[in-house]
Amino acid sequence: MRLSPAPLRLSRSPVLLALALPLAAALAFSDETLDKVPKSEGYCSRILRVQGTRREGYTEFSLRVEGDPDFYKPGTSYRVTLSAAPPSYFRGFTLIALKENREGDKEEDHAGTFQIIDEEETQFMSNCPVAVTESTPRRRTRIQVFWIAPPAGTGCVILKASIVQKRIIYFQDEGSLTKKLCEQDSTFDGVTDKPILDCCACGTAKYRLTFYGNWSEKTHPKDYPRRANHWSAIIGGSHSKNYVLWEYGGYASEGVKQVAELGSPVKMEEEIRQQSDEVLTVIKAKAQWPAWQPLNVRAAPSAEFSVDRTRHLMSFLTMMGPSPDWNVGLSAEDLCTKECGWVQKVVQDLIPWDAGTDSGVTYESPNKPTIPQEKIRPLTSLDHPQSPFYDPEGGSITQVARVVIERIARKGEQCNIVPDNVDDIVADLAPEEKDEDDTPETCIYSNWSPWSACSSSTCDKGKRMRQRMLKAQLDLSVPCPDTQDFQPCMGPGCSDEDGSTCTMSEWITWSPCSISCGTGMRSRERYVKQFPEDGSVCTLPTEETEKCTVNEECSPSSCLMTEWGEWDECSATCGMGMKKRHRMVKMSPADGSMCKAETSQAEKCMMPECHTIPCLLSPWSEWSDCSVTCGKGMRTRQRMLKSLAELGDCNEELEQVEKCMLPECPIDCELTEWSQWSECNKSCGKGHMIRTRMIQMEPQFGGAPCPETVQRKRCRVRKCLRNPSIQKLRWREARESRRSEQLREESDGEQFPGCRMRPWTAWSECTKLCGGGIQERYMTVKKRFKSSQFTSCKDKKEIRACNVHPC
């Protein structure tokens, strides 16, 4: 059999993924065993048949697939890790993928393909290209490769390992390096591991959902948002299998998107209620600010809901805030058992999932809509290096929340095949409790005030009221509910059930007072909306009267007044304020005098307690570009104040500045000024003289290069004489003259006006060996005369050309 190194096209049948022995190690430790294998068999099958020391129940070494899944999705990449627990180690390994119950001696026996992560650690085997082995034999404690699952229809996969330590250790099928994965049914494509069956339970059941948020800086320290961390209001419902709130592999609805991005449950609740035939109970629970607090400080949010045979599934979600579009929740949790009963308790740890509507990768990433929209999927530890859940080793994400669903009552005839050991059958199920904080996440309120006294002091039905204050509306497009809440009530000692068999309407408004001056009578009425079913007479009153006083004084000097109007709203939104009411003069006094009756009244009013308004801030923007194009500069980022300015001052900083460093700026070459021209290099005829300048700074970081540092120009002193003897005589005279002058200078120095100079120094060495260099000499001041009026007595310098011959 000849194996091609290219990725294999695999047939659809069960798969075995095995770690077997590397060839070199196998030959070194078990040559005799290999010799017994027929030479005609393929090499891949030979390494699988190599036998070493069999070890069962061995736990020093382990094989792990990222996420610890029980199912694999065809065509999906999985990170496979082989590791040894310290102080153990291994020297070699081989990774090979085989279909279940196959020997590996045929090309179609192999399934899936591998991808190398680190070429220094792993490589494909030359004689078995479908297998992965070590690059060099050495001590190691871990290796990682990617395995791409085979196509649909392949079946189950068994991951199995053998390693080389000091000797060959070959693990049995039930050893610690064995992992079984089965192909996920494409019908459900990541939504659920099994189909939802019809429910055979009888009656109804009532449950309580309790949400425990475990997301905190202690459990998830990377980039944890200290200020704005929270869980949004929980929204969900109990429903039939014909309705899906959300699911893995599906697309988020507009309601799910608003929960995921804004934390607002309003649209989601609207979508659920539109499916009234498929939904039994809408599940709602309050938000949590901050995301985590001890249970002795704040009780975990909870909600009650009911299920029946048709609507036996439960789904909910809540946003992890701040985040791009991350949530936690349950999708289509079935509370009906196959024994035709109702589940007693569900405890589920939750990891976050991505709604597929925003492409941000951190908690406070700016809005970045995902276009086109992607499918809902669970977050993993390998999504992005900047993700707060990133783990280069591909470990599982630490759970961020736990939900407990506990059965609290059942109603009606039950038909359990297996008897239920909890006696919680009741005559009637109480209505689900309404959560007190049923508000969008974008509306920030104060706490509710205590309930007012009932408006009725008798057994007639009245109303009581409570109030709260709207502190901030973060999103003007999302309406905020009323700040007042009303509830029916009765006077002390009365029961809501009194006269329950006789349903009455609300009282009609009081009639005007029977007289316009003094004390009279007024009345109001109501009517029977529903008579008792047993045909008895309704004994509740349909009319009542009471005394009324319009004008206490009825003398000619008194004036007639209207009744007092309703009280105005309190002048304060929180704490102590004032409220007023008014009335008008109906008739002035008969004697023509001024009306002395008051037309307005004022009294104190108490509103809910004032609370400190928190600073509601937007996430930080991205850092600006550096203020410079090279070298050191500054950059800034900003955030905005979301809470209303009139609600209080916010001292949090809205702008941050930090230093930034870009590649160094180019530095051009720097030179000195040109020196003076040197003496002509010839005493007669045509010659040249030069001048130079020095480099002070070499060019750096791509700066302009240095220009020329030496210049020369022609010079002509006088014509040279044609008679060589006369020329030589003049040279000799000139040389003797210079020598005598030098001796004179050495004796007592040269005399200048106002000072005596030291003799000239010797000429310095030539700066170049050829091509024209320069020499320098100096004369310094030896003594300045006090009586001298000259100020030009300075040190002197001479320069001349040297080595002017070509190089």
> Model confidence over 314-340: pLDDT tens digits?
999 999 988 999 999 999 899 998 888
**Exposed e or buried b per residue across 338-349, where buried means at least 16 C-beta atoms within 10 angstroms of its C-beta:** eebbbbbebeee
Question: Per-residue pLDDT tens for 109-161?
Answer: 777 777 887 788 888 887 778 778 888 878 888 888 887 888 877 777 777 77
**Residue in the block written with tokens 């001796």:** 743
What is the Cα–Cα distance from 356 to 369, expressed in whole angstroms? 9
3-state secondary structure of 194: coil
pLDDT category of residue 741 using cuts at 50, 70 and 90 = low
What is the Cα–Cα distance from 593 to 784, expressed in whole angstroms? 122
pLDDT at 282 (0 to 100)? 92
pLDDT at 207 (0 to 100)? 93
Say if residue 615's pLDDT is above 90: no
What is the Cα–Cα distance from 216 to 225, expressed in whole angstroms? 9
**Residue in the block written with tokens 């039905």:** 461
Q: What is the mean pLDDT of the chain?
A: 76
pLDDT at 682 (0 to 100)? 81
Higher pLDDT, 117 or 352: 352
Instruction: Read off the pLDDT of each residue in 439-466 and give the average, rounded to a whole number.
Output: 73
What tokens appear for 588 in the block? 């002035």
> What radius of gyration do the chain's Cα atoms show?
48
**Residue in the block written with tokens 């809501």:** 496
pLDDT at 94 (0 to 100)? 78
pLDDT category of residue 251 using cuts at 50, 70 and 90 = very high
pLDDT category of residue 533 using cuts at 50, 70 and 90 = low
Whether the CB-CB separation of 201 and 312 falls below 8 Å is answered with yes
Whether the CB-CB separation of 669 and 698 falls below 8 Å is answered with yes
Instruction: Read off the pLDDT of each residue in 353-358 and give the average, rounded to a whole number.
Output: 92
Higher pLDDT, 16 or 656: 656
Say if residue 735's pLDDT is above 50: yes
pLDDT category of residue 313 using cuts at 50, 70 and 90 = very high
Question: Per-residue pLDDT tens for 260-276?
Answer: 998 888 889 989 988 88
What tokens appear for 251 in the block? 């697309």
Q: For residue 260, give the amino acid letter.
A: A
For β-strands 178-183 and 71-72, DSSP reports them as parallel
What distance lies between CA 428 and its chain's CA centroid?
A: 46
Q: What is the dihedral of CA 433, 436, 440, 442, to 10 degrees?
A: -160
Question: Per-residue pLDDT tens for 588-600?
Answer: 777 777 887 888 8
Whether the CB-CB separation of 180 and 161 falls below 8 Å is answered with no
Q: Dump the DSSP string for 68-91.
A: --SEE-TT-EEEEEEEE-TT--BS
What residues contact residue 343 under an 8 Å CB cut-off, 6+ apart?
334, 335, 336, 337, 405, 407
Fill in the DSSP letter of residue 647: G
Question: Per-residue pLDDT tens for 630-643?
Answer: 888 899 999 887 66
Question: Per-residue pLDDT tens for 193-237?
Answer: 446 778 998 889 999 999 998 898 888 888 898 877 889 899 999
What are the backbone angles phi and psi of residue 33, rounded to the nearest 5°? -65, -40
Say if residue 164's pLDDT is above 90: no
Say if residue 33's pLDDT is above 60: no
Q: ∠57-63-68 over CA atoms, to 5°?
A: 110
Tell me the β-bridge partners of 327. 319, 353
pLDDT at 48 (0 to 100)? 55
What is the Cα–Cα distance from 784 to 781, expressed in whole angstroms? 7
- Minimum mean pLDDT range among 299-303, 375-379, 428-432: 428-432
What is the Cα–Cα distance from 301 to 298, expressed in whole angstroms? 9
Fill in the DSSP letter of residue 369: B
Question: Per-residue pLDDT tens for 648-670?
Answer: 567 778 889 988 877 778 888 99
What tokens appear for 37 in the block? 């294998």
